[in-house]
Structure 1
Amino acid sequence: MDSAAGGGNSGSSDVTLKVVTGMDDFSKEEWSGLSGASRGDCTTSYNPFISHDFLSALEDAGTVSRQTGWQPQHLRLETSGGTLIGAVSCYLKSHSQGEYVFDHGWADAFERAGGRYYPKLQVSVPFTPATGPRLLVARGASEPTVRAALAGGLKTLTDRLGVSSAHVTFAIDEDIELLEEAGFLPRTDQQFHFRNEGYGDYADFLDTLASRKRKALRKERAAAVQDGITIDRLTGKDLTEAAWDDFFRFYMDTGSRKWGRPYLNRKFFSLVGERMADDVLLVMAKRNGRYVAGAINFIGGDRLFGRNWGCIEDHPFLHFEVCYHQAIDFAIERGLKVVEAGAQGEHKLARGYMPVITRSAHYIAHPGLRRAVAEYLERERQEVAQIGEYLEEHGPFRKG
């Protein structure tokens, strides 16, 4: 799809929106010029999941493709001279797996009524429930203008392809506002994040908790390593192929039991280790000279993103130590402001991870389905807000 749209500051008011079929249609240099896509000039805004390295690794490993039901349909907004000023990582989906914002009920209802829900468009980072920019703007371009052009272009692409809908998930507030203006329906959900309030160490954090909660976490951390378990943190050059072999074994064990078919393959982890080793943190638990559990995290500009966990031995509280407590330790040591611990999990609350609203936006082409979804989302937003207020009141921190 090529279409004209106003905006940009490149010396011409004419820009073109193109649909391209892979990350290789963007040079790494020009993609790195998009805000948040590289450490660049503003380190704190860097989001590793929208980097060229991460998105291309998904495609090059074959985890994202037509065959897996994630067909790249990325949007490329450029000036008349071919300069990239905006982009959207977008996929034509034949299912609703790997998204973490659930619309299976919408699909089922629409198809029972005689409609065809799939294919649909999905704007997200595949298999990654982490908030970040989705309407990507080149540094120096007019952000509202470019975002508005991308939001309108996404809606136009949905209509031109004749698909049922377009879904923009785990988006930042600025993107949601422009998507709403373009006719998308807003949706909210909830995650649990740890906020680093300038703690000097983990003990400083514990001092902010109620006495009973503080004692419980001390006991939990001690119990997690009582069977002779030691914890290693691997990043950069320590991410050897042997370490990836161990972690992938953990990942496959958990994924096979929980989902039936893990989304990521072994090649993906090698590519990530090759291309962005300094952005990766593996927390690995060792017993009797071998690794028995581990979790992968990605290091952003001002936050740590916890992703996948797995184990081949069961030990009490080891999951909490490897995934949550070690992440807090690392964030405090690095001066990171936030730890995002992935989707769902109210058990995170007792460990200092507080409820945070996440946002998505949905364009539904069929008027009848759109009305039904809009009514549902209104009720859902109220429920999410009420649950968040309740959980906030029952957090582990000292009152007052």
Structure 2
Amino acid sequence: MTINKNALPKHCNYLLHSSIAHSELELNASSPFHNPVFLRALEQQVCVGANSGWQPHHIELPDHQLLFPSYLKSHSYGEYVFDWAWADAYQRYGLEYYPKLVTMQPFTPIAGQKHFGKALTDSAVAQLADSVVDICQQQHLSSWHCNFIEQTFAEQLQDNGMMTRHGVQFEWHNQGYASFEDYLTRFTSRKRKTTNKERRVARSSVDEIVWRMGKEINDQALEAFYFCYQTTYMKRGQKGYLSLSFFQQLAKQMSENMLLVTAEKDQKIVASALFFFDQENLYGRYWGCLQELDMLHFELCFYQGIEFAIAKGIQRFNPGTQGEHKLYRGFEPVTTYSSHYVARNDFSAAINAFCIEEQQYIAQYAEQCKKLLPFKTQP
């Protein structure tokens, strides 16, 4: 279904789409997750829509030939820019925080481009800001959230009245290393010995570690990965957001961007990590194991990823959100950006003050994190 807003003033001219397939714009991928194949798979395998709490509500700006994949949300799970306190404040005053509108790739806290189409001019961003305000007012939504965006886009939105939040993730950067051993020469002696010990312990608990790419990611390996993935969620009393059929569709349609790393023992996969990559970036996304084996998570999710990035000449490795333990393995703090609009002025003022104070805390936190890096000298 497409809702036409032609009756609105020109500066609010937009279309809303209930499926990524409904837009007639040419959709060019800028990353494995900013890819119509990835987003269509989420829709077609009902990881979004139905009762997921993610209802596709994609915003198209025809005047600028832009599409922003967006979703009506009935909860805040799977976003990784946490606004639970905002929802609690609404509830204390007897107000409804949900539904709200979110622009991002679902379940994917990866910074980068959040639109399809042409470059984001100032006039296009101004029209987007006007449009989301109108959508929230017309559809009685509490707020709009555009998560894990590029800094320039966040600044453009702030110029148009949106609030900015900062966060921290941890990334590994390739300095032209020839091998993992070459990388470790940057570590202090003590940290280098600790890392080598961790790797020995992890490898001693399994028979082999295998990389699979492209057609090597067959149904048997994918099913074993998925069993590990869901088993790990179940240990926490939860269920993974994504279905086996979703991963199977991706393996058929974009396996050239996928790396499956498996730990095998007695000819059985006992742990696995699924990565996505392009020429410049490696993304660690999904992990699971059948039993907790000492240091194996670090080996599969971090060290194997670093080895792969070095082997392929990939410049950046994002292993997933949160976790100061990444610092000790050489993942450096980087600032993330998100933009927010809150419809009620009485709440908006308080939340904006919070965001400004939070930015100062985030800057201090990032500086503290740098002190925990294992390098002999700071990069």
Counterparts of 1:155-170 in structure 2, within 5 Å, are 155-170=133-148
Aligned partner of 1:22 among 19, 24, 28:
19
Identity %: 36
Aligned to 1:353: 331
Q: Give the Cα separation in 2 of the matches to 1:258 and 1:189.
A: 25
Deviation (angstroms), 1:105? 1.0
Question: SS at the partner of 1:284?
Answer: strand
Task: Check 1:398–1:125 CA distance in 2 against 1; reply closer, same or farther (3 A cut).
Answer: same
Q: Is the contact made by 1:137 and 1:146 (CA closer than 8 Å) also made in structure 2? A: no
Structure 1 residue 385 corresponds to structure 2 residue 363: yes
- Write out per-residue CA displacement over residues 287-345 of structure 1, whole angstroms, 9 at most, x where no aligned residue: 11111000111113411011110000221110000000011011111111110011101
Structure 1 residue 100 corresponds to structure 2 residue 80: yes
Query: Over aligned residues, Cα RMSD in angstroms?
Result: 1.8
Task: Check 1:19–1:259 CA distance in 2 against 1; reply closer, same or farther (3 A cut).
Answer: farther
Q: Give the Cα separation in 2 of the matches to 1:174 and 1:243.
A: 41
Aligned partner of 2:112 among 132, 141, 148:
132
Aligned to 2:32: 48
Q: Is the contact made by 1:135 and 1:175 (CA closer than 8 Å) also made in structure 2? A: no
Aligned to 1:89: 69
Q: Is the contact made by 1:47 and 1:301 (CA closer than 8 Å) also made in structure 2? A: no
Q: Is the contact made by 2:17 and 2:59 (CA closer than 8 Å) also made in structure 1? A: yes
Structure 1 residue 119 corresponds to structure 2 residue 99: yes
Counterparts of 1:324-363 in structure 2, within 5 Å, are 324-363=302-341
Deviation (angstroms), 1:5? 7.8
Deviation (angstroms), 1:112? 1.0
Letter in 2 for 1:111: Q
Please list every run of 5 or more consecutive structure 1 residues that lacks an aligned counterpart in the other structure: 7-13, 38-45
Q: Is the contact made by 2:17 and 2:57 (CA closer than 8 Å) also made in structure 1? A: yes
Aligned to 1:154: 132
- Write out per-residue CA displacement over residues 210-241 of structure 1, whole angstroms, 9 at most, x where no aligned residue: 11111111111111111343111111111111
Letter in 1 for 2:99: P
Structure 1 outlier segments of 4+, above 6 Å: none
Task: Check 1:329–1:137 CA distance in 2 against 1; reply closer, same or farther (3 A cut).
Answer: same
Q: Give the Cα separation in 2 of the matches to 1:208 and 1:317.
A: 22
Aligned to 1:10: none
* TM-score (normalizing by structure 1): 0.89
Aligned to 2:266: 288
Aligned to 2:247: 269
Question: SS at the partner of 1:262?
Answer: coil
Q: Give the Cα separation in 1 of the matches to 2:304 and 2:153.
A: 32
Q: Give the Cα separation in 1 of the matches to 2:106 and 2:179.
A: 34
Aligned to 2:55: 71
